[in-house]
Amino acid sequence: MPSQKRKAKIAVTATPSQPRQAPLLLCGDIPNAFQQAAEWGCQGVEIHLRRAEDLAPQAVKRLVKEYGLKVPTLGTGMAAADGLSLSHPLPDIRALSVERVRGHIEFAAEIGSAVTVGVLSGKLGDCEAAERRTRRLHALESLTELCQRARRLGVTVFLEPLNRYECDYINRLADVAAIAAEIGAPNLKLLADTFHMNIEEADLAASLKAAGPILGHVHLSDTNRQAPGHGHLDIVGVLAALDEIGYEGYLSFEVFPVPNARAATRDGIAAVRAATRRMARKSNASPAAPTLRARAPRSQGL
């Protein structure tokens, strides 16, 4: 029976950059992002960096201590804007991509977070089957190198399956489990993003249950890439599946700030609470109450 004391940990997404369009809630001012996250009742800030040099690890450690929040993972996908990809056909580009993410890994080791590889997985492209196998091999060699470096530093790597329009070889949760086994990387875990899952998975709940212990992080995004509750995602089904497998990680809102970051976070937290209340009503006749509950905000700012 799962512990009835386990509660959902909510994280907002933030970046020190000013991307033109990205599903990130807070952009530009990282100290403000931590302050807002704490006021809104969140437990973490997921930071996305184009380059590790864009932010100082010591500054992040001070913010973590000041606001009592965690950084569950560092996103690396913004580096794709520089033409980087782990599956690029040119070895020099792959080497530059690995070197870029090594910076994120070293940053993560200092602040105690994981590192996400998603968009940087890239695409194998429209080529002959033999060439696709070669490109996939090279991509996994690059990923292996990153995992080995991360393992030496005590860092977990989250591999995120993307929908078919953004990646053409890592699309489903089961793909990550297969890759982790193939390359033999014990520190490679799964990041499940419900936006991508809605496109690629026939049954979201079943896929999450099958992932089990390899699941390390969740992007809880609705079907339109907005906050949970803004689309038609079966939030109850997702949370019930996470509860069943004993998931204790974060629910991170990698979403567009629609209508704004504050309202999107408020709506997402409200949707999680509403879902957990529905779970509780359904389980009233059972001695095992649902355990994923959004924590109450620290203030009434929402």
Q: Tell me which of 166, 200, 201, 254 is the catalytic residue.
A: 254
Between 6 and 65, residue with greater pLDDT? 65
Query: Does residue 296 belong to any structural domain of this protein?
Result: no
Q: Is the pLDDT of residue 82 over 50?
A: yes
Whether residue 43 contacts residue 52, with contact meaning beta carbons closer than 8 Å, is answered with no
In angstroms, the CA 250 to CA 220 distance is 9
Residue 295 lies in a domain: no
Q: What CATH number is associated with residue 91? A: 3.20.20.150
297: in domain? no
pLDDT of res. 259: 98
Q: What is the per-residue pLDDT across 59-74, written as a single tens digit (0 to 9) for each? A: 999 999 999 999 999 9
Higher-pLDDT residue of 296, 35: 35
For residue 5, pLDDT over 50 is answered with: no
> Mean pLDDT for the chain?
93
Query: pLDDT tens for residues 283-297?
Result: 775 555 445 655 555
* Per-residue model confidence (pLDDT) at position 292: 60
The pLDDT > 90 percentage for the chain reads 89
Residue 190, SS3 per DSSP? strand
Residues of the domain holding 158: 9-282
Instruction: Work out whether the CA dihedral 63, 68, 72, 75 comes out positive or negative.
Output: negative
Confirm whether 4 is domain-assigned.
no
Is 108 inside a domain boundary? yes
User: Nearest 5°: phi and psi at 11?
Assistant: -125, 140
Q: How many domains would you assign to the chain?
A: 1
Which residue among the candidates 46, 160, 166, 200 is catalytic per the annotation? 160
pLDDT tens-place string over residues 234-251: 999 999 999 999 999 999
* Nearest CA-CA partner of 15 in 62, 63, 76, 72: 76
Is 160 a residue of the active site?
A: yes
In a domain, 294, yes or no: no
Query: Tokens 């009835």 sit at which residue?
Result: 4
Integer Cα distance of 261 and 24 in angstroms: 9
In a domain? residue 165: yes
User: Considering only CA atoms, which of 75, 31, 27, 26 is closest in space to residue 56?
Assistant: 31
Residue 67 lies in a domain: yes
Average pLDDT over residues 141-158: 98
Q: Which pLDDT score is estimated for 6?
A: 57
